[in-house]
């Protein structure tokens, strides 16, 4: 089958048409554009126990469990993890991120992250999502390796989150993460949304997809997911499936605890079951049409 290959020359991506054959007993579908893909995974980014429940019953095949999604996702409480694990049967990846604002952490913050990860793993998290960078945007090798070793000592998955989208060189960084033993990388292709970053995602999948799992995330919904998967060859999708819920106490008297823009000032973001269902159904219909 045919595929576009990418090579770097003087900082540019050059497209080269290449014919190749893939022999892999796990590959179960070949699509019309020649991209070979495994079974699709729909990972929903949940900000609460209620979000996690709504995600699973609406068709999610994996959950990334967080708090404070409006800050990009922070470490969930232990109570959130314990209750979630009681009621969901799909894998739950726990976020370990102590604050917003970036991924260059102090030694004290790293201590907290390792302890949080240990607690989550001891209470049955199926993996940990994390990311460490130095101030220049390079992978913090020592901190990353320590976290990966801790996660793997429990036999769980090490997932490098969208800190990857802030690195200086995605190719050097991906190769480093592979060498460190990361199981999966969540990325938008270094752009604000995965669709905007689809050329980079395609390159990363083609070049490294047989060595590490690539999980595409940011701005993915039922209207663009098929085009994105067919173009990139990526079969793992990450989405917040966001909706909004009213809370009349967000603004009272002259006091405001609102964090959203004016339109949603008296609301907070949640996983919308109908959005999850539509995303999952869109992918299922597409898969069945190519059987």
**Contacts within 8 Å (CB) and 24+ apart, 257-263:** 259/70, 260/70
Q: 38 phi and psi, to 5 degrees?
A: -90, 180
Span 27-81, pLDDT tens digits: 334 443 444 446 799 999 999 999 999 999 999 999 999 999 999 999 999 999 9
CATH number of 34-241+275-289: 3.20.20.380
What was the pLDDT predicted at 48? 98
Residue ranges of domains in the chain: 34-241+275-289
Residues 163 and 131: their CA atoms lie apart, in Å, by: 5
Using DSSP, state whether 48 is helix, strand or coil: coil
Span 143-190, pLDDT tens digits: 999 999 999 999 999 999 999 999 999 999 999 999 999 999 999 999
| Residue with tokens 């199926």, as numbered in its chain | 126
Residues 128 and 114: their CA atoms lie apart, in Å, by: 10
């Amino acid at each position: 089958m045919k595929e576009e290959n990418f090579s770097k020359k003087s900082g540019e991506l050059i497209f080269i048409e290449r014919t190749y054959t893939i022999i892999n007993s796990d590959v179960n579908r070949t699509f019309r554009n020649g991209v070979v893909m495994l079974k699709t995974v729909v990972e929903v980014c949940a900000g609460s126990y209620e979000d996690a429940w709504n995600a699973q019953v609406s068709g999610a095949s994996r959950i990334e469990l967080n708090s404070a999604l409006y800050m990009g996702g922070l470490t969930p409480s232990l109570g959130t993890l314990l209750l979630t694990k009681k009621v969901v049967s799909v894998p739950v990846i726990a976020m370990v991120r102590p604050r917003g604002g970036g991924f260059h952490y102090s030694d004290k913050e790293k201590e907290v992250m390792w302890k949080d990860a240990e607690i989550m793993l001891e209470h049955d998290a199926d993996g940990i999502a994390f990311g460490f960078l130095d101030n220049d945007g390079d992978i913090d090798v020592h901190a990353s390796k320590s976290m990966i070793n801790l996660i793997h000592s429990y036999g769980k998955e090490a997932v490098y989150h969208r800190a990857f989208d802030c690195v200086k060189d995605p190719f050097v960084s991906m190769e480093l993460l592979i060498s460190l033993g990361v199981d999966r990388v969540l990325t938008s292709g270094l752009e604000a949304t995965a669709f905007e970053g689809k050329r980079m995602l395609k390159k990363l999948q083609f070049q490294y997809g047989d060595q590490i799992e690539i999980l595409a995330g940011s701005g993915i919904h039922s209207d663009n997911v098929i085009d994105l998967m067919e173009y990139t060859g990526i079969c793992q999708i990450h989405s917040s499936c966001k909706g909004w819920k009213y809370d009349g106490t967000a603004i009272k008297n002259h006091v405001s605890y609102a964090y959203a823009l004016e339109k949603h000032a008296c609301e907070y973001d949640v996983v919308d079951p109908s959005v999850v269902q539509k995303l999952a159904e869109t992918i299922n219909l597409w898969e069945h049409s190519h059987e």
